Amino acid sequence: METRKYRDRADYMVKAVTKRRKRLREMAVDYKGGRCNVCGYDKCIAALEFHHEDSAKKDFGLSDGLTRSWPKIQLELDKCLLVCSNCHREIHERITQPLVETSK
Ligand SMILES: [Zn+2]
């Protein structure tokens, strides 16, 4: 019985972490305007990615760093540009240039 209870609890914890990550991702995307900064794509949140404008300033990857506290994530987000996965590849291949943010 004890083992079973433990397993249920572990299962619950895993689900809670997944839920939290998903929520943080939604918050992060929302914080960055909710759409691709290059083409305006906003159909699928899973296809939006964070591009570090200056990779030297990168403290942690936002794709796997969503276990951090929200204020820390926000600091990291301020160094990023929200783009869709297509534009992200194009930026890295230097086919497209991200728009320079003038609001900061
Ligand atoms: Zn795009």
What pLDDT does residue 4 have? 74
Question: What is the Å distance from ligand 1's center to 37 Cα?
Answer: 7
Nearest C-alpha neighbor of 53 from the set 9, 93, 97: 97
**pTM for the whole thing?**
0.74
The token pair at 88 is 């992200």
What pLDDT does residue 66 have? 63
Mean predicted confidence (pLDDT) in 41-48: 95
pLDDT band for position 62 (cuts 50, 70, 90): low
User: 104, exposed or middle or buried, with CB in 10 Å at 0-12, 13-18, 19+?
Assistant: exposed
For ion ligand 1, residues whose CB falls within 5 Å: 36, 38-39, 41, 84, 87
H or E stretch covering 15: helix 2-31
Residue 92 in this model has a pLDDT that exceeds 50: yes
Question: What is the Å distance from ligand 1's center to 86 Cα?
Answer: 6
Question: What is the Å distance from ligand 1's center to 38 Cα?
Answer: 5
Question: What is the Å distance from ligand 1's center to 73 Cα?
Answer: 22
What pLDDT does residue 103 have? 45
pLDDT band for position 49 (cuts 50, 70, 90): very high
Given a contact cutoff of 8 angstroms between Cβ atoms, the answer to whether 29 and 48 are in contact is: yes
Tracing tokens 């900064």 back to the chain, one arrives at: 37
pLDDT above 70 covers what percent of the chain? 78
Question: What is the Å distance from ligand 1's center to 35 Cα?
Answer: 8
Q: How far is CA 92 from CA 19, 48, 52, 102, in A?
A: 30, 15, 11, 21
The CA distance from 10 to 52, in Å, is: 35
The token pair at 35 is 């759409």
